[in-house]
Amino acid sequence: MKEEKLLLSSQICFPIYSVSRLLTKAYKPHLEDLGITYPQYLVLMVLWENDKVSVNQITEKLLLNTNTMSPLLKRMEKMDLVNRVRSKEDERIVIIALTDKGRELKTKALPIPDRLFDEIVTDKVEIDDMLKLKDTLCQLITVLTVKNEVSVRSE
């Protein structure tokens, strides 16, 4: 029956959406200890990997829009986690750099991934399941990113 395709239980997107929300919620107590939100944590992870990058590089890496990123970065600057500086080569480009406080949070954040794994991994969900899921989701992100780029160009 074709109507079954419209059942919530038949959807691929709903479990992904739900897991995303639940994982973000699981991060919350760990990140509250650091005084940051999950989106701020994502930005910090990008900067801990490569400091002093443009806003566009961060938005591309996190698959977010600039209009989402700008207020987030302004709040992070007020929290003294990052500095925003115009590029000397091209004033249209804003470079985001970690402050000392932003760099110090990296050490405090180091145990978070292991804590999350400890909370999630059980006899029903093993580490191999998590790693396979991550790989599958990364492949899906690649496919959907390419598909979305093609559809944006054709509009």
Instruction: Please answer whether residues 69 and 55 qualify as being in contact, where contact means their C-beta atoms are separated by less than 8 angstroms.
Output: yes
74: CATH: 1.10.10.10
- Give residue-wise pLDDT tens across range 8-24: 889 999 999 999 999 99
Q: Say if 109 falls within a structural domain.
A: no
Expressed as residue numbers, the domain containing 88 is 33-104
pTM over 0.85: yes
Cα 43 to Cα 62: distance, rounded to the nearest angstrom:
8
- Give residue-wise pLDDT tens across range 24-49: 999 999 999 999 999 999 999 999 99
Q: Say if 50 falls within a structural domain.
A: yes
Q: Considering the chain, what is the average pLDDT of its residues?
A: 91
Whether pLDDT at 71 is above 60: yes
Give the pLDDT of residue 151.
Answer: 55
Q: Say if 97 falls within a structural domain.
A: yes
Count of domains forming the chain: 1
Strand order in the sheet with 94-98: 53-54, 94-98, 82-86
Cα 58 to Cα 9: distance, rounded to the nearest angstrom:
34
95 φ, ψ to 5°? -100, 135
Can you say whether residue 53 is alpha, beta or left, with left for phi > 0 and alpha for psi between -120 and 50 degrees? beta
Q: Say if 43 falls within a structural domain.
A: yes
Number of Cβ within 10 Å of residue 32's Cβ equals 10
